[in-house]
Amino acid sequence: MKANRRINDRYEIIRPIGGGGMADVYLAKDLILDRSVAVKMLKEQFSKDDEFIRRFRREAQSATSLSHPNIVSIFDVGEEEDLYYIVMEYVKGQTLKDYITQKGKVSVDETIGILQQIISAVKNAHQNHIVHRDIKPHNILIDEDGTAKVTDFGIARAISEATITHTNSVLGSVHYLSPEQARGGQVTYKSDLYSLGVLAYEMLSGEVPFTGDTAVAVAIKHLQEPLPLLKEKDPSIPQSVENFIMKATAKDPLKRFSTTDEMLRDLTTVLDPERQYEAPRYIDEPDEDMTKAIPLTSIQESDDFDETRMHSPGEETTAFKKDKQKVPLDKAQNNKKKKGFKFWLKLAILGVLFIIGLILVALYFIPSWLHVDEVEIPEDLIGMPYEEAHEVLTDLELEVEQELRFDEDMEEGHVISHRPGGGQLVKVGTTVTVVVSEGDEPIEMDDLIGQSRSQAEGLLEHFSDVNVQFEETSDYSDDTVIEQDPSPGETVIPRETIVYLTVSERPTYVMSNLYNMTREEVNDMFSENDLITIEEDEDHHSSVEEGRVISQSPSRGTEIREKTTVSVVYSRGPEPEEEEEPISASVPFRVEVPENNNDSSYHIRIAVTDMDHRTPNQIVDEDISADETFEIPMTVAPGESGYIILYVEGEEFSQSPYEYTYEELRQYQ
C-alpha cells in the first residue's frame, strides 16, 4: 500500500512497519484524533472468504472490549474496497522475539518482570472470555519504557477456525503450540498457559524447547517428548523457576496451573528464600492414548494349545506307534478303567476351559459395560444466570450443586465460578458445584453521628448516593453530622441505599466595620454572642486616637459563624519621637596673625562654654607669631549651642564668641 493513502478519510498511511502470512502492518496517522496508530491490513486471500470475514469481525470486535496497560488496544475495525483492517495502538519499540535475539537470553529477574506483565494481560482476556490461542514472542511488544504489551487477541481464533474447518490442519506457531492444539483438540484457557511456559523457557535459554525439520515433527515432540530440562542448559537457574515452567508446560492440561491467578502467585514466589532448595517437580509422561492412535493388529491362535497333528505316509510315529499283538483279558479291564479316568479328566479340562472362556469374555465386554462417557464442561458459564447454567449442565447429564456467595462485582443470581472449571473433561453424572452471586453483602450501618462531613462521606463512598442537608445549631462544631438515615446498626446493602445526612451549620453574621470604635463599643457589639471570641492587640497610629480600633480581621462585610475568633487592633496613639543624645566633638579653631606683624608675637587665650561648662572654660593660653589651628573639645545637647571665646592680649576678640549649634557640631563627629 502506498504512502499517503487515506483509509475511510481518517487514517493516512505513512510507511510499512511489519507483516506476516495473514496481514501487513502500517504506521498511520489518525487525522481526527491527531495521533499515530498501527493499521493491520488483511491480505487479499483472506478477503474473499465470507465465513472467515464474519469470524474475523466477530473476534476483532470482541477484542476491542479489552482494556489493560499490557494489551495493545484496538481502536477500530473496518473495511474499504474489500480491504479489511484493524486500527491498533502504535507501540514504539520492538517485539519480544527481537529482544531475545538481541540479548541472547534474558536474566531471571527480567524474565519474571516481563512474564508478570504478560500473564496479567492474559488474565484480563480470560476474564472477558477470550483465549489468545497464539501466544508467542512475535505477538508481544516491548516499548521504550520496558513495558510489555500483548497483541492479536482473538484474531488467531478467527483464522484457526476458518483453516481447520476447511483443511483439518493445525494453524499457529508450532513452537509454542499446546499438545491439545497440536492434535486438533479443544482449545481452553490452559492452552494459553502452556504457551506462556514455552515463552518463559525461550526467554531464559535463548531457544525454543522443541525444533524439527518440519512443523509436524515439532508438533509430535510437543505431544510425545518431555520438555528438555532448563537447568541442564543453565545450572544457575533456580530449581523453583524450572518447576514453574514444568508445571505450565505439562502435557495434561489438568496438571497445569488452573488459572492465570495461580500462575501469577507461583511466579511471584519463585525467588523467595523458602523455595531456594525446592525439589525438582515431577515431569509427567505423555499419555499414549492422547498422543497416538492404536494400530490394528491381527490376532493369531496359539500353536501350543490343544493342537491335532496329521502325519505324512511313511512318517515314523515313535511316541504313538501301536503294537499289533493281542492284549490279555486282565489288561483289557485295566484299559477300561484307564478310559474312564481319561473321560473325567477331559471333562474337568473342558470345565476349566469353559471358565477361562467366561473370564476372557468378561474381560472383553465388562469394561465397555462399565464405561462412562466423558463430557467437557462449557467455558462460558461464568456470568450466566444460574437457571440457564443449570439447564446447560443438566443437558450434559451432569449433577448440579448450588453454592451461594456474596459478590459485589457479579449481578445477583449469576454464576461467579464453578468447580470443575471450564474446558475440563469429566464423567457423565459428575457433580458440578456452581457458585452463584447473592449480590452485595448486607452490612450494619455505621454510626456517623459526631463525625465530620468529609469523614462520613469517605465511609459512604460505596453507597448508591449521599444526600446532605444543613441545619443551623450551636450544639456542634461546624460541618458535623447530627442526624442520619438509615439509623446506626440498621442492615443495608450499600449499592442499593441512599444515605441522608443532616450536617451542622453554625449561625452566620455579617462582620461590621469596627474602625475607630472604642473597646467598650466593640465589647458591647459582641456581648450578646459569647461564642465569638475577641482577640486584642495594640499598635501606634499617627492619626487614630489611643484606645480606638485601627484594624480588624475578618474585614467588614465578611460572613462569619459562631465560634469564630475576631482579631481587633487598638491604637496606642502616635509613635513618640526619638530622643536625641548630646554630641561631643573637637572643633578645629584657626587663629590668624595679621600680615604686618613684623614677626611680633601675640598672647592668646581660648575658652569654651557648652553643656558641661556653663561658664567659660579656658582651653588654650599661649603666645603665637604665626597662624595656628587648635582642636577645641565641645559637648552640645539637642536644641542647644556651644561657644568658643577668643582673647587677644587679654581682651576679648571683636568677633568673639563663635557659636556652634547641635546640628553644626554633628559634622565634626
Whether residue 306 is contained in a domain is answered as no
Task: Let me know whether 248 and 112 are in one domain.
Answer: yes
Task: Let me know whether 461 and 490 are in one domain.
Answer: yes
Query: How many CB atoms neighbour CB 395 within 10 A?
Result: 9
pLDDT at 405: 87
Query: How many CB atoms neighbour CB 634 within 10 A?
Result: 25
Task: Let me know whether 178 and 276 are in one domain.
Answer: yes
Task: Let me know whether 83 and 104 are in one domain.
Answer: no
* Per-residue CA distances from 45 to 64, 156, 161, 645 (Å): 24, 16, 16, 129
pLDDT at 159: 43
Q: What is d(CA 185, CA 165) in angstroms, rounded to the nearest whole number?
A: 13
Q: What is d(CA 18, CA 5) in angstroms, rounded to the nearest whole number?
A: 17
pLDDT at 158: 42
Residues 271 and 238 sit within 8 Å (Cβ to Cβ): yes
Ranges 15-19, 35-39, 97-101, 375-379: which has the least confidence:
15-19
Residues 200 and 233 sit within 8 Å (Cβ to Cβ): no
| Cell triple for 55 | 469470524
Task: Let me know whether 114 and 74 are in one domain.
Answer: no
Whether residue 304 is contained in a domain is answered as no
Task: Let me know whether 208 and 153 are in one domain.
Answer: yes
Q: Is 43 annotated as a binding residue?
A: no
Task: Let me know whether 662 and 596 are in one domain.
Answer: yes
Task: Let me know whether 99 and 214 are in one domain.
Answer: yes
Q: What is d(CA 224, CA 360) in angstroms, rounded to the nearest whole number?
A: 32
Which residues are catalytically annotated? 134
Look at residues 396, 418, 437 and tell me which one is the last residue of a structural domain: 437
What pLDDT band is residue 155 in, cutting at 50, 70 and 90? low
Query: What's the burial of 256, exposed, middle or buried (CB within 10 Å: 0-12/13-18/19+)?
Result: buried
Whether residue 355 is contained in a domain is answered as no
Look at residues 519, 543, 571 and tell me which one is the last residue of a structural domain: 571
Res 305 pLDDT > 80: no
| Cell triple for 338 | 484307564
- Span 426-439, mean pLDDT? 89
pLDDT at 271: 93
pLDDT at 326: 42
CA-closest candidate to residue 131, choices 73, 169, 178: 178
Q: Residue 122: which domain range?
A: 93-288
The C-alpha angle 395, 396, 397, rounded to 5 degrees, equals 90
pLDDT at 12: 94
For the stretch 172-220, pLDDT in tens is: 478 999 999 888 888 899 999 999 999 999 999 999 999 998 888 899 9
* Per-residue CA distances from 355 to 305, 345, 362 (Å): 16, 16, 10
Residues 541 and 572 sit within 8 Å (Cβ to Cβ): yes
Q: 413-422, 572-581, 588-597: which has the highest mean pLDDT?
A: 413-422
Res 300 pLDDT > 50: no
- Span 237-241, mean pLDDT? 94
Look at residues 288, 322, 349 and tell me which one is the last residue of a structural domain: 288
Count of domains observed in the chain: 6
Q: 67-71, 245-249, 563-567, 600-604: which has the highest mean pLDDT?
A: 245-249
| Cell triple for 376 | 467437557
Beta strands in 56-161 (DSSP E): 74-80, 83-89, 93-95, 140-143, 148-150
**CATH code of 604's domain:** 2.60.40.2560
Q: What is d(CA 201, CA 105) in angstroms, rounded to the nearest whole number?
A: 10
- Span 443-455, mean pLDDT? 89
The DSSP string of 403-470 is: EEE--SSS-TTBEEEEESPTT-EEETT-EEEEEEE--SPPEEPP--TTSBHHHHHHHTTTSSEEEEEE
Whether residue 339 is contained in a domain is answered as no
pLDDT at 160: 44
CA-closest candidate to residue 424, choices 391, 388, 375, 383: 375
Residue-wise burial string across 216-250, b where 16 or more C-beta atoms lie within 10 A, e elsewhere: eebbbbbbbeebeebeeeeeebbbbbbbbbbbbbb
Whether residue 388 is contained in a domain is answered as yes
Task: Let me know whether 98 and 189 are in one domain.
Answer: yes
Task: Let me know whether 534 and 661 are in one domain.
Answer: no
- Span 241-261, mean pLDDT? 95
